[in-house]
Chain A
Amino acid sequence: MTVSPAPAEAMLAKAQGPRRERAPRGMSGARAHGLAAITAIYLLWSLVPVAVVVLFSFNAGRSRSTWQGFSMRWYTWDPDGSVINDESIRNALTHTVLLAVIATAITVPLGVLFALALDRWRGRLPAGANFLALITFVIPEIALAIGLLFMVTYLATPFGLGTTAQIVGLVTFQLAYPIVICRARLLTISAHYEEAARDLGATALGAVRRVILPMLFPAILVSAILVFADVLDNFVIVRYLSSDASTETTSMRIYQVARAAPTPALNAMATIILVVSTLVIVVGWLLYRRWSKRQGESTDIRSFAGNL
């Protein structure tokens, strides 16, 4: 999550520069091959198990370890077990996506405004708030979840456990993403742009809206996608703050039944969420590339991984 400190010019130079020429000159090929083999084995270990989950969602039988032929049974036609016919699975899917949409819609504007404020507002108060926001990044999620659970349970909050509490928890946990990503981008946007806008007669708010925000758009897009994808997969917060079966998400569903004797419908449900997040990421990545190319910003995939 190191905030990239490179000014725009340097990033531009890097993007155009001879990146590919870092080939292993004079390096023993054997070592590179060894490292390549390790990397390949790692990637297989990392991704093949997940591919097996996806594969067995198409199994014709009930087994999740013996292949019995291809079928869409667990997605569509199985009378009570398929994704379409099992109400709890359907509900988990819609609730998960609902939480992701609402939490993203709240987190991103909140974080972007906060990042804009932190960029110009100096002092102890904003520094302290920034510090707290960054702490939510590294504090174990269980602390945040239990804190909110206790607050909702023992304080007279206007909302109880359930969807609202889940969204509040998710927004709090995700707020650091837009803050960190937008601040990193703001640091590379020179203050001259804003000053020029002001000299040309824009109000402070007008300069933000018409000059800074458009330049910030790629960063906003990236944080929205990261928040969305991360919320889809959240488990700890949504579980502690859920009320009953109607606020169950897909992660909770997997946790509930994975060790019992689930059917491949569970695999099908997990696969659907994977497809949703992959689609969002791919579409977002294409949009991001278009936008940042227009602005001459570096399009390294790392900026897409949350500047980790």
Chain B
Amino acid sequence: MPDRTSRFIWPVLGLPGMVWIALFFLVPLYVVFCVTFGTVDPIFRSPVPAWNPMEWQFEQVAVVWDRLVGPNNFYLPPVLRTLLYVVVAVVACMIIAFPVAYFTARYAGRHRALILALLVAPFWISYMMRMLAWINLLQPDGLVNFIITLGGIIPLEVNWLSGNPFTVVMGLIYGYVPYMLLPLFAALDRISPSLIEAGRDLGASGFELFRRVILPMSVPGVVAGTLLIALPMMGDYFTSDMLSKSPSTSMIGNLINLSIATPGQSGQAGALLILVLLVLLAPMIWYTRSNMKSEVRS
């Protein structure tokens, strides 16, 4: 007995959320385009957004493009560096997360709840606090140098905190690995023990079992984890700022952040941002759609 209210109640309930998303997600994205494809006031050096797409100009994009591939391409090293850092960090996260997730899913036994709680703990420890922890440990007179110099005996003191790419990549791994661990754990946990038993009954060795049963079934978790950490890393500027603060380790995020802070360069920040979003568009859409599909399937 569908009365009038039941037909309209659902759209009405959804309306506030939809308006919110339109106003504070779609409109801001559009403004980024208007600022990027607008002009800069020649006197005040302030951006003049072009609200009408018909009037969009490409000066700012040309400036950024020139710095990327032109003769004086000082934007290119940070871009390439970002790709390198992200790839190294993602691979390292996989290597770290796999055994940990696998152990928790299959062998943790009665400690399972405790280990899971500890694995989840970094989610509610502030990222900045976690970076602060490493700044403290990596000070010239900090704990790490104390250990590797055996308390000052061996002159091996390392300058960790200014322009050391190793520190920045370690910081990225440290910061993001929990986001790889959880989806991976969820995927591995879904593998039924009877499936593994069946594999063993059919004569698979431990390694074969891993390669032909466990690894293939972990793929969704690995893919989800990779996207969950790679996408935010592409916009990360604070890890490098906290652990290095040097141009020699700056990433795309740092370029964007610096342009935002410089008067008259908002358009360039927007152009860089649009560049990043264009590169990430396909993986973002793919990931979101696959999540929506898994909802519908159930």
Contact = CB atoms under 8 A, between A and B. Distances in A.
Contact of A38 (B99, B143, B289): B99
A302 B3 CA distance: 40
A68 to B, nearest CB: 13
Contacts of B269: 146
Interface string A228-263: 010011011000100000000011001100110000
A251 B128 contact: yes
8 contacts: A1-B228, A39-B104, A143-B29, A143-B276, A150-B28, A172-B21, A208-B13, A250-B128
Contact residues on B (Cβ < 8 Å of other chain), bracket: 35 or more
A218 to B, nearest CB: 17
A204 B18 contact: no
Contacts of B107: 24, 27, 32, 35-36
Nearest to A130: B292
Interface in A152-205: 153-155, 168-169, 171-172, 175, 179, 183-184, 187, 198, 203-205
B136 A274 contact: no
B103 interface: yes
A255 B242 contact: yes
A235 B231 contact: no
A33 B113 CA distance: 18
Contacts of B59: none
B160 interface: no
Contact of B234 (A26, A140, A187, A301): A140
Nearest to B99: A38
B1 A142 contact: no
Contacts of B99: 35, 38-39
A169 B289 CA distance: 24
Given A65-B141, A250-B126, A138 B11 contact: no
A46 B133 CA distance: 10
A131 B292 contact: yes
Nearest to B179: A308
A112 to B, nearest CB: 9
Interface of A: 1-3, 5-7, 20, 22-28, 31-32, 35-36, 38-39, 42-43, 45-47, 49-50, 52-53, 56, 64-66, 110-111, 113-114, 116-121, 125-127, 129-144, 146-151, 153-155, 168-169, 171-172, 175, 179, 183-184, 187, 198, 203-205, 208, 229, 232-233, 235-236, 240, 250-251, 254-255, 258-259, 266-267, 270, 273-274, 277-278, 281, 301-302, 304-306, 308
Contacts, number: 318
Contacts of A175: 17, 20-21
A3 B183 CA distance: 11
A126 B10 CA distance: 10
B26 interface: yes
B122 interface: yes
A143 B277 contact: yes
B200 interface: yes
Interface stretch (B67-75, B150-158, B280-288): B280-288
B146 to A, nearest CB: 8
B9 A139 contact: no
B292 A171 contact: no
A235 B5 contact: no
Contacts of A5: 294-295, 297-298
B142 to A, nearest CB: 5
Contacts of B78: none
B270 interface: yes
A119 B31 CA distance: 32
Interface of B: 1, 3, 5-6, 9-18, 20-21, 24-29, 31-32, 34-35, 47, 49, 96, 99-100, 102-104, 106-110, 113, 115-137, 139, 141-143, 161, 174, 177-179, 182-183, 185-186, 193, 197, 200, 206, 220, 224, 227-228, 231-232, 234-235, 237-238, 241-242, 245, 253, 256-257, 260, 266, 269-270, 273, 276-277, 280, 284-285, 287-289, 291-292, 294-295, 297-298
A277 B256 CA distance: 31
A110 B294 contact: no
A134 B125 contact: no
| B107, B178, B232: residue with the most chain A Cβ atoms closer than 10 Å | B107
A52 to B, nearest CB: 6
Contacts of A302: 116, 182, 185-186
Contacts of A45: 174
Nearest to A29: B107
Contacts of B174: 45-46
A118 B178 CA distance: 30
A224 to B, nearest CB: 14
B127 A47 contact: no
